[in-house]
Chain A
Amino acid sequence: MTSKLPTSSVNLNGTLIQIEHLTKVYQLGEVDVHALRGISVNVSKGEFVAIMGASGSGKSTFMNILGCLDKPTKGSYVLEGIDVGKLSRDELAAIRNKKIGFVFQGFNLLSRTSALENVELPLLYGATSNKTRKQKATEALERVGLGDRIHHYPNQLSGGQQQRVAIARSLVNDPSIILADEPTGNLDSRTSVEVMGIFQELNNHGITVILVTHEPDIATFAKRHIIFRDGKIKTDKINSSPNIASEVIKEMPMIDDEEEEAA
């Protein structure tokens, strides 16, 4: 029942994403909105990229294209050697299912569906047996520190916990890349650092992470900073000394603990 994942034709030692001259134009009635005006960038395996920039600079548009949720107007996007622009609807679905984990600002969990079932969802659309599905989902939840909350419903979890469920869902299928669009945008600062800790931990285990944030504090945990302006890349530089979330958190006040526990 599952669509076959397209296989790559070329081996690009270490290069995960190759993007060239990517543009995106939205048509709003008579007006054309140029959200992306020619983006070219490569991302290698194991990178931790933070994309920053003013609101409206095209970050989300870029992430949606990276996540195969949307298609560019022009330009090419090659993911692990596969030219994504040439794929059918079903092949794109398979890519989203197997290669990409997407984390949204608003969590996007299914309400009235338990944490475990939310995390199982990507496996349901793959070809996983019922038993391994449950096991994998439980492991993913344990990995984000929610092993004791697997039967909770989203409305019984705090924002930080919901985002952790979303992260567990994004990593349950062992994706090559996790994309997160302002994952900490709805979270307080302490919880944000905790979530960044999870991303760092995943990145240490070899998963490529690309996240969007407008908070410089959050970006300090990434190893590379790309700054967007008006649909173009303004700067792209390596952060040679990223902060370590697990250490930062020790120095932070514990004011939010009560709220977390109450949920």
Chain B
Amino acid sequence: MKILNILLSAFRALQRNKMRSFLTMLGIIIGVGAVIAMLAIGQGAEYSVKEQIAALGTNVLMVFPGAQQQAGVRTAAGSATTLTEDDALAIGRECPAVQYLSPGSAAGGQVIAGNLNWSTSIQGVGTDYLEIRQWPIEYGDFFTDQDVKAAAKVCILGRTVADNLFPESSPVDQTVRIRSVPFKVVGVLTKKGQNAMGQDQDDVILAPYTTVIRRLSHWPNLRFILVSATSLNDISVAQTQISELLRMRHKIQPYDPDDFTIRNQTDLAATATATTDVLTILLASIASVSLLVGGIGIMNIMLVSVTERTREIGIRMSIGARSRDILTQFLIEALVLSLLGGIVGIIIGVAGSSIISSIAKWPTIVTAFSIILSFGFSIAIGIFFGFYPARKAAMLNPIDALRYE
């Protein structure tokens, strides 16, 4: 039997039970739609993570104490004691490819202003920090080199902290108590929003790193050094210079591993992308389950259909249909169901993704890959779940099928 004729008769068979065919397809529609939408969300997340990392400034390097672990994952960040203030000053002095540099220390804690309190992270940084991060002050001033030298008790508030501690008045020139140490607020940062990992970057207080080390963390070494290279092309030069300098200063023998880690934005991006990849796979797997359920729905309906149409099968066999004609007929019917469902599902998935984008303000990206994937998936499901019922029909004995009531 010619494929066109089989297709035609498959369409007619499905048309006869419109409601049932539609409900069966619904399983595939929802499954494919969900897979497309979930992939779109995952890929949208990945895209926006990359965007934000790029926005950080691409010529920025971060130096951490402690050795680099496999796959770019560092455990116990900052636990090593190898990065000192002198290291930072030496980098600034001796690495020509380094333009700006900020030593970094950190502490967490409760911050009190009047009768309000807020718990946040306190970053100890240098005066070039905002230059490197390209993060302007909204009002007030940043602290000065003088403040750093003197370990002055001054601080800058991130937007979130300012909003929570000073909901009505201006925080500038007010006093906040960080772990009971009084700090004078000299400025407020502009809003920066979430970072690549989804953290609120404005939930932060910046203070001179000397002050944080001496008054708050009581940890003499640096948690990180933030560096910007003189230009984008100089990043690797800067990286090499810093690496060589630190190895020398730390007296690391050739072939021994670094006791520090230098990361650029590419590394950060890779880590973040890996995270969003996991997210994408997770979302898609959940959605695939519904696709699987849809496939089982097809199998169920095809089995019912084979039983209902046993006489028809008998009639067809009595006039010369071979097993493989019957097999193709039912297989094609299952395929048409899953393919139509797949196509509608793709349309709904694409439409759904853009609705999610506009309502939830999440970025979504529908790729050709995800469309091809789910299309292929629905074909596979049609064949896989259609085969058993089709075979069952094809293996009937002509006379038994004819006698079936």
In the complex where A69-B399, A108-B402, A125-B1 touch, is A89 in contact with B323 (Cβ < 8 A)?
yes
Inter-chain contacts of A97 with B (CB < 8 A) = 319-321
CA distance A126 to B1 in the complex (A): 7
B318 touches A169 (CB 8 A): no
B45 to chain A, nearest CB (A): 50
A102–B320 CB distance below 8 A: no
Specify which chain A residues have a CB less than 8 angstroms from the CB of B399 in the assembled complex: 64, 69-70
Distance (whole angstroms) from the CB of A250 to the closest CB of chain B: 34
- Name A82-114 residues within 8 Å CB distance of B: 89-90, 93-94, 96-98, 102, 104, 108-110, 112
Whether B318 pairs with A102 at a CB distance below 8 angstroms is yes
Contacts of B324 in A (CB 8 A): 90
Q: How many A-B residue pairs have CB under 8 A?
A: 65
Give Cα distance in the complex from A104 to B402, angstroms. Answer: 10
Is there a chain A Cβ closer than 8 Å to B316's Cβ? yes
Cβ-defined contact, B5 with A124, below 8 A:
yes
B173 CB–A CB distance under 8 Å: no
**Chain A proximity mask over B298-335: 1 for CB below 8 Å, otherwise 0:** 00000000000001101111111111110000000000
Is B398 positioned at the interface, with any CB of A under 8 Å from its CB? yes
Question: A64-B399, A124-B1, A125-B325 given as contacts; is B16 within 8 A of A112 (CB)?
Answer: yes
B359 CB → nearest A CB, Å:
45
Tell which of A70, A96, A109 touches B320, judged by Cβ atoms closer than 8 Å.
A96
**When the two chains form their complex, are residues B315 and A110 in contact, meaning their CB atoms are under 8 A apart?**
yes
Chain A 191-207 per-residue mask, 1 if CB under 8 angstroms from chain B, else 0: 00000000000000000
Check: A262 CB closer than 8 A to any chain B CB: no
Q: How far is the CB of B223 from chain A (nearest CB, A)?
A: 75
Give the B interface residue count (CB, 8 A).
22
With A64-B399, A69-B402 already in contact, the answer to whether A126 and B320 are too (CB < 8 A) is yes
B319 lies within 8 A of A121 (CB): yes
Output the residue of B320, B324, B397 with the most chain A CB within 10 A.
B320
> B residues within 8 A CB of A46?
none
Report if A183 contacts B (CB, 8 A). Answer: no
Alpha-carbon distance between A110 and B329 when the two chains are bound, in angstroms: 15
Given the complex of chains A and B, what is the CA–CA distance between A145 and B398 in angstroms?
30
**B319 to chain A: which residues have CB within 8 Å?**
96-97, 102, 121-122, 125, 169
Chain B 4-27 near chain A by CB (<8 Å), digits 1 or 0 = 010000000000100000000000
Cα distance A172–B319 in the bound complex, in angstroms: 11
Cα-based distance from A173 to B316 in the complex (angstroms) = 14
Q: How far is the CA of A112 from the CA of B14 in the complex (A)?
A: 13
Q: Is the pair A69, B318 in contact by a Cβ cutoff of 8 Å?
A: yes
Among B320, B323, B398, which residue has its beta carbon within 8 angstroms of that of A122? B320
Q: Are A121 and B402 in contact (CB under 8 A)?
A: no
Q: Is the CB of B322 within 8 A of A98?
A: no
Tell me which residues across on chain A come within 8 A of B316, comparing CB atoms. Answer: 121, 125
What are 5 A-B contacts with C-beta separation under 8 Å? A90-B322, A94-B320, A97-B320, A97-B321, A121-B316
4 closest A-B pairs by CB? A97-B320, A93-B322, A70-B399, A125-B320
